[in-house]
Chain A
Amino acid sequence: MTEQQVIQWTNEVFEQAFEIERSMLTADAHIFEDLGLDSLDIVDLVVALQDRFGIRIREDERIRTVETLGDLYAYIVMVGQEAALGGEG
């Protein structure tokens, strides 16, 4: 999966699940402060990302370090690469 695809799919999750306008979805946008999500939304964000990307991240402690949308894009790319490596192994 390309980085561009990760950005597009992640943005679609924010638009559809959290009704946030596309224009606000920039890499430096803070997920809590700028996009207005709260602790309950994060639970549903994880559910939606798992469903969209076919990944499992609920138990991954690293998701807790994500603050901005850019952090999230990078995190998903990383998880995707790990899954691909695991698949090859």
Chain B
Amino acid sequence: MRRVVITGMGAVTPLGADVAALVDGIENRRSGVRRMPGWEAYRGLRSLVAAPAEVRDEKSIPRRNRRSMGRMSFFAVRAAEEALADAVIERARLGSGRVGCAIGSTMGGAEALSQTFETMSHEKDLAKLSSMKFFQCLAHTAAMNVSQYLGITGMVLAPSGACASSLQALGIGYDLIKCGRQDIVLCGGSEEVHPTVTAAFDILYATSTGYNEEPQETPRPFDKKRDGLVCGEGCGIVVLEELEHARARGAAIHGEVVGFHTCASGDHVSESSHASIERCLRGALEDAAVSAAEVDYVNAHATATRHGDAEEARAIAEVFGDRVPVSAFKGYIGHTLGASGAIELIAALVGMRRGVLYPTLNLQEADDCGGIRHVLERTASRVDLMVKNSFAFGGINASLVCRRAS
């Protein structure tokens, strides 16, 4: 069986323009959450905070490529460029047909979608509709733009499983390489902050509303005072590569993907279920052919909603007991939705390489949900095997198992 390793990583996040800025922010317990100017104008929007990222130097992208990119695609091409540079993969290789990309998102480009609706609904006139809005808001806009910009001619896919999208993208890339259909797949997710996105969660009472005046105190994964999620934006891209392919070109290896599972609750569109999260975690361990006792660290999804954190903690406790250290990174970067799995995996992989467990920011007093072992401080610890967990609206779960590079 072909083995799949990680040879490159790239990230644009609320903490900065690359992986180094992301990890530096986490190392220094910085929060990317801000009060969002102008959001007071939306009547009924109670959550006025978000974790925005910065679009940088977009004019250096040729206009022919740039014109079809919205915010999430700018994030994606920058993260993909960083990941390829990290993997030392030259662009000439990308047109071989053996290199693909799988980049997911929750709903495509929210900003372009909103602008299109405004034009159509208010003016009821197509005369003002740009040809490019459609390409900027497509569900696969990030994947499409990355492949067009970089000249990737293999399989281009855009899994959309809401907040599990990027972990599903990694699972797809893992399977494509394992079964021999591709040698390299750029995998991840991209997302953009927009009031319509926060509003979608706000009307479901899933957002944080009590920290508008002290935004850096929220979200608070697993904390007693948690009051909901905070939307963030950015992109995480991981280069997955077949092991012998990577060895043949002398690539540095960040870790190995050894197991993946995704499954659904088949139960409720918004209420996460500990039973199905547990089933997903066990499925990933089974795929990796490892026992729960071998796992050294779990990076949780933990959006900081009352219900979701409790269900996930219970599932983790059922599988791992209270032995395995658990932390979550949304206190630093908010909930980057479809990008969260890949971004958080990248930070955890850097921690694994450095022999460090990074703590959960804003976790001051753990809620007694599930009885899991929280990482409260930066802790030196060797991690040989870790699990990244995600789950999403629609009852979707995804879990990935990674092994330390030998």
Instruction: Tell me the A residues contacting B by CB distance below 8 Å.
Output: 18-19, 36, 38, 40-41, 43-44, 47, 50-51, 56, 58
Contacts and interface: CB of A to CB of B under 8 A. Distances in A.
Interface residues of B, number: 10
Contact of A51 (B63, B128, B131): B128
B63 A47 contact: no
B28 to A, nearest CB: 39
A42 B131 CA distance: 9
A47 B64 CA distance: 18
B132 interface: yes
Contacts of B126: 58
Given A18-B63, A19-B63, A43 B130 contact: yes
A44 B132 contact: yes
Contacts of B129: 47
Given A47-B128, A47-B129, 20 more contacts: A18-B63, A19-B63, A36-B64, A38-B64, A40-B67, A40-B131, A40-B132, A41-B67, A41-B131, A43-B130, A43-B131, A44-B130, A44-B131, A44-B132, A47-B127, A47-B130, A47-B131, A50-B127, A51-B128, A58-B126
A58 B131 CA distance: 12
Q: What 9 A-B pairs have minimum CB-CB distances, sorted nearest first?
A: A43-B131, A40-B131, A44-B130, A50-B127, A19-B63, A44-B131, A58-B127, A47-B130, A47-B128
A43 B127 CA distance: 10
A47 B123 CA distance: 14
Contacts of A58: 126-127
Interface in B103-147: 126-132
Nearest to A38: B64
26 contacts: A18-B63, A19-B63, A36-B64, A38-B64, A40-B67, A40-B131, A40-B132, A41-B67, A41-B131, A43-B130, A43-B131, A44-B67, A44-B130, A44-B131, A44-B132, A47-B127, A47-B128, A47-B129, A47-B130, A47-B131, A50-B127, A50-B128, A51-B128, A56-B127, A58-B126, A58-B127
A58 to B, nearest CB: 6
Interface string B35-74: 0000000000000000000000000000110010000000
Nearest to A50: B127
A44 B129 CA distance: 8
B144 to A, nearest CB: 14
A81 to B, nearest CB: 21
Contacts of B131: 40-41, 43-44, 47
Contacts of A56: 127
Contacts of B130: 43-44, 47
Contacts of B67: 40-41, 44
Contacts of A51: 128
Nearest to B131: A43
Contacts of A43: 130-131
A38 B64 CA distance: 9
A43 to B, nearest CB: 4
Contacts of B63: 18-19
B365 to A, nearest CB: 54
